[in-house]
Homo-oligomer: A and B are copies of this chain.
Amino acid sequence: MDVSCPERVILEHVTSRWGVLVLCELLDGAELRFSALRRAIGIVSEKMLTQTLRTLERDGFVLRRALPVIPPHVTYSLTPLGLEAAARVHALSVWTADAAPAVLSARTAYDAAHPSPS
């Protein structure tokens, strides 16, 4: 990741593999626990989810609230800044979903025009 360009790094964070999913899950203002978030996303390792949440928290997009009880009770939600980010990422995500049919047919056309040497 190009460290010389701060905005690029931020962009990578919010559009990262798991970053997109975390933001979209929290977009509705929900305050989810670690395990709930993990189940909602689907298949994601603890390590990756933790790493993604740390990054987004450090960037000021995600708010982490830990209740000092045993067993631990931690919830994650979006900050106002995170809500803005999530809304935009979600919009882009929706657009790609809309564009998917066009992309798929473009791929079919491309593959037809560029046959792999068999």
Which stretch from A25-33, A45-53, A68-76, A90-98 is at the chain B interface? A90-98
Number of A residues, CB within 8 Å of B = 39
With A60-B106, A92-B11 given, is the CB distance from A6 to B99 under 8 Å?
Answer: no
B93 x A106 contact (CB < 8 A): no
90-118 of chain A: CB within 8 A of chain B? 91-93, 95-97, 99-100, 102-107, 109-111
A65 surroundings in chain B (CB, below 8 A): none
Interface residues of A (CB under 8 A from B): 1-2, 6-8, 10-12, 14-15, 17, 20, 57-61, 81, 84-85, 88-89, 91-93, 95-97, 99-100, 102-107, 109-111
B10 x A20 contact (CB < 8 A): no
A103 surroundings in chain B (CB, below 8 A): 10, 59-61, 81
